[in-house]
A and B are shown apart, each in its own frame.
Chain A
């Protein structure tokens, strides 16, 4: 469903992805724990109809209202989004006519979430989607993601919350210094490390690899 091959990205002189390759099958949630994140966009706009992207930052045009902003993205995608249910699910109805400048960070993040979900695309790319969400919305959002996963959608989640990764992901990709440190089933990793949380399992794995002078990092 999603294939990355030899992706490189650097911010200025700082490389953050050093030739990362991976395959993600449909109907799975994959999370990446990374220290810096980057993504690749080719100049062929049509395939982006398949993608719902949730950016990490929520600095949208300040003087547009929520309604106008959602309509703008609908116009740009030339598709009608199913925003009605989502808006009431995240209690955004009463903000529809407020301009984005006057919304709190959490509310903006909810707008961001609605925006990425409302077209029900086949691939989701979400960068720290739950940051700033209140507990109720967070639970509802995760439910939605699980439902979408059951519908066979591909979800690529970038998160630093390992509890979230453990709860949602079928497969994790752990990146460090631009290289893949671990790619696989989180349950397998937890079993291997004999830990009951993903956080501890990853910490355990990291300790071992630092003791072995970190072959992953020095291999290239």
Chain B
């Protein structure tokens, strides 16, 4: 697994797309910092970019990477290694290099700007963690989707729709449900709905840290009320870990049964 990870990491890291991805975060962070001239504001704006862009790009990269390496995967499968190692190795290679591109992209501008030793360091750290979690979750999701679909176009379409659903439609639908059922107690459903969407989870995680109640929305407020800041953070991180683990189990299951 480590061997496959190592080479796939080299491969993806040198791809120009990873470099473009890095540059994207580098330039947006730099401009946000210098335009707003305010660390907290920059972190909030950056959060909105991260919550939309990372899932989208991880999804697209994941699907593209899988379909592009289909033939190579066939070759690896003919070698004396377990299937699990082939897929998890490739998964780690892609997610870790994307995460590295993202982390360097936001870290360098912050260091330039001067990340004062204050509460902002923690805000930044939580934001970075949310981005890394999202990368791992959405690359896993994209591998899972592409493993289930041999048809490239179909796999791509499902991946994009899943992203659209989780990033855009989900909140609207929840709002609709809540408005229709506003006579009932909705705290528990709100919690469950949040746990089911990794993008919402990371938003809640970052907002709990930033402590901006105005942006928290209903679900964030419920999280805060039920678990407090620390409890909410721990719960959201744990749930994101569970997301990753479940998706990896899914990838293992599907790949071990798949007829290549």
Q: Do A and B bind each other?
A: yes
A49 contacts partner chain B, Cβ-Cβ < 8 Å: yes
| CB contact under 8 A between A64 and B11, given known A59-B71, A59-B72 | yes
Query: Hey, which chain A residues are within 8 Å of B81, CB to CB?
Result: 45, 76
B interface residues, how many (CB within 8 angstroms): 30
A63-85 to B contact mask, C-beta < 8 Å, 1/0:
11000110011011110000000
| CB contact under 8 A between A51 and B15, given known A72-B7, A75-B3 | no
The answer to whether A76 and B10 have CB atoms under 8 Å apart is no
Give the one of A47, A60, A72 with max B CB within 10 A.
A72
Chain A residue at smallest Cβ distance from B259: A9
A15 contacts partner chain B, Cβ-Cβ < 8 Å: no
The answer to whether A57 and B71 have CB atoms under 8 Å apart is yes
The answer to whether B71 and A76 have CB atoms under 8 Å apart is no
A-B pairs with beta carbons under 8 A, tally: 73
The answer to whether A48 and B15 have CB atoms under 8 Å apart is no
In the complex, what's the smallest C-beta–C-beta distance from A137 to chain B, in angstroms?
Answer: 20
B152 contacts partner chain A, Cβ-Cβ < 8 Å: no
A184 contacts partner chain B, Cβ-Cβ < 8 Å: no
Chain A residue at smallest Cβ distance from B79: A76
The answer to whether A55 and B7 have CB atoms under 8 Å apart is no
The answer to whether B3 and A53 have CB atoms under 8 Å apart is no
A55 to B260, CA, bound (A): 13
The answer to whether B78 and A41 have CB atoms under 8 Å apart is yes
A3 contacts partner chain B, Cβ-Cβ < 8 Å: no
A112-139 to B contact mask, C-beta < 8 Å, 1/0:
0000000000000100000000000000
A61 contacts partner chain B, Cβ-Cβ < 8 Å: yes
The answer to whether B74 and A55 have CB atoms under 8 Å apart is yes
Selected contact of A61 from candidates B72, B79, B82, B260, CB within 8 Å: B72
In the complex, what's the smallest C-beta–C-beta distance from B94 to chain A, in angstroms?
Answer: 11
In the complex, what's the smallest C-beta–C-beta distance from A40 to chain B, in angstroms?
Answer: 9
Query: Hey, which chain B residues are within 8 Å of A57, CB to CB?
Result: 71
29 contacts between A and B (CB under 8 A): A12-B150, A45-B81, A47-B80, A48-B78, A48-B79, A48-B80, A49-B80, A51-B78, A53-B75, A55-B71, A55-B75, A55-B78, A57-B71, A59-B71, A60-B72, A60-B75, A61-B8, A61-B11, A63-B12, A63-B13, A63-B14, A64-B7, A64-B10, A69-B7, A73-B79, A76-B4, A76-B76, A76-B80, A76-B81
User: A-B pairs with the 5 shortest C-beta distances?
Assistant: A53-B78, A63-B14, A61-B11, A48-B80, A57-B71
